[in-house]
Structure 1
Amino acid sequence: MTVNRASARYEGFGKEGKGSITTKSGVLDKQPYGFGTRFEGLPGTNPEELIAAAHAACFTMALSFGLARAGYAGDTLETSAAVTLDQIDGGFEISQSALTLVAKVPGIGADKFAAIAKEAEMNCPVSKLLDCEITLEHSLES
């Protein structure tokens, strides 16, 4: 079992409040977040950006392992994730994570690649965690 940790601190309330996020690894160390970073484009991060990063990384690693299990030697996989936060019934909800993948995988056919990518999309741990629509667009480069 692997346990990873992060912490958040928030000072003040509502729009005027300001927070920071720190991860055990130190990759984030008192990284600012708050209303301005989440909704107004101010410098810092926000929960949806962190979820997008986690989803892109998790899916890409799952795909890498799926391709290796199928006997393919790697070149490159590049994935971006766009996480959508919608206001619904006076609250907020993450409604979608849209994955976009560009891959170079020598010797693989489009159908085989699509099947392995779909399996990775459905079975990476972050996909399993998210309770929203997940989409995947992909392209193979030669």
Structure 2
Amino acid sequence: MIVNSGSARWEGGLKDGKGALSTKSGALSNQPYGFNTRFEGLPGTNPEELIGAAHAACFSMALSMILQEAGISNVKIETTSEIGLAKTDDGFAIKTAHLNTRIWGDGDKAVIEDCARKAEKGCPVSKVLNAEITMDVTVA
């Protein structure tokens, strides 16, 4: 089993507190986050943004494998994942993850779209999200 990790430090209350997060690889090191970066759009990151980046990256890698197995060549994939955070009766919950992917490749468009649907359901991050996951596909 491959194990990777991220870490976070938080000081203070919810609205006046500040945090920093890091990844095991060092790609992120003491990246600031807080209430204002999560709910007010100020500079810094937030958990949903990071989940979106992870989801887009995982999906794109899974799709490249599935396209290769289907014989699609000259592949280029650009993907975003929009993570929807909503207020619920007991706080907040991630309710949606919407993939938007644009795919270039030499092969049948219907086959490419089918491969994208397989990757949507099959990538490990899609599997871990307990949210409605949707997607728009554009084959260029």
Q: TM-score range by the shorter chain?
A: over 0.9
State the 1:2 CA deviation: 0.7
Give structure 1 stretches of 5+ with no counterpart. none
Identity between Structure 1 and Structure 2 (%): 51
- TM score, norm. by length of structure 2: 0.97
Shift of 1:18: 0.4
CA contact (8 A) 2:72 2:112 kept: no
Are 2:86 and 2:93, in contact at CA under 8 Å, matched by a contact in 1? yes
Name the residue aligned to 2:95: 95
- CA displacement 1:95-139 (0-9 Å, x = unmatched): 111100111111x22221121111100010000000001111011
2:75 and 2:127 map into 1 onto residues whose CA distance is 26
**2:59, 2:119 within 8 Å by CA — same for their partners in 1?**
yes
State the partner residue of 1:128.
Answer: 127
User: Matches of residues 101-140 of structure 1 in structure 2 within 5 Å?
Assistant: 101-106=101-106, 108-140=107-139
2:18 matched residue in structure 1:
18
Distance 1:133 1:75 in 2: 27
* Superposed CA RMSD: 0.9
Q: TM-score, normalised by structure 1?
A: 0.95
SS class of match (2:15):
helix
Distance, in Å, in 2 between the alignment partners of 1:126 and 1:43 is: 26
Structure 1 residue 74 displacement after superposition: 2.7
Runs of 4+ in 1 over 3 A off after TM superposition: none
Moved more, 60-69 or 87-96: 87-96
**Is the contact between residue 75 and residue 105 of structure 2 (CA under 8 Å) also seen in structure 1?**
yes
Q: Kindly state the Cα deviation for residue 90 of structure 1 after the two structures are TM-superposed.
A: 4.3
Q: Which amino acid aligns with 2:2?
A: T
Structure 2 gap ranges (5+): none
Measure, in 1, the Cα distance between the counterparts of 2:75 and 2:91.
43
Give 1:70 deviation, angstroms.
Answer: 1.2
Q: Secondary structure at the match of 1:26?
A: coil
Counterpart for residue 5 of structure 1? 5
Separation in structure 1 between the aligned mates of residue 75 and residue 68 of structure 2, nearest angstrom: 11
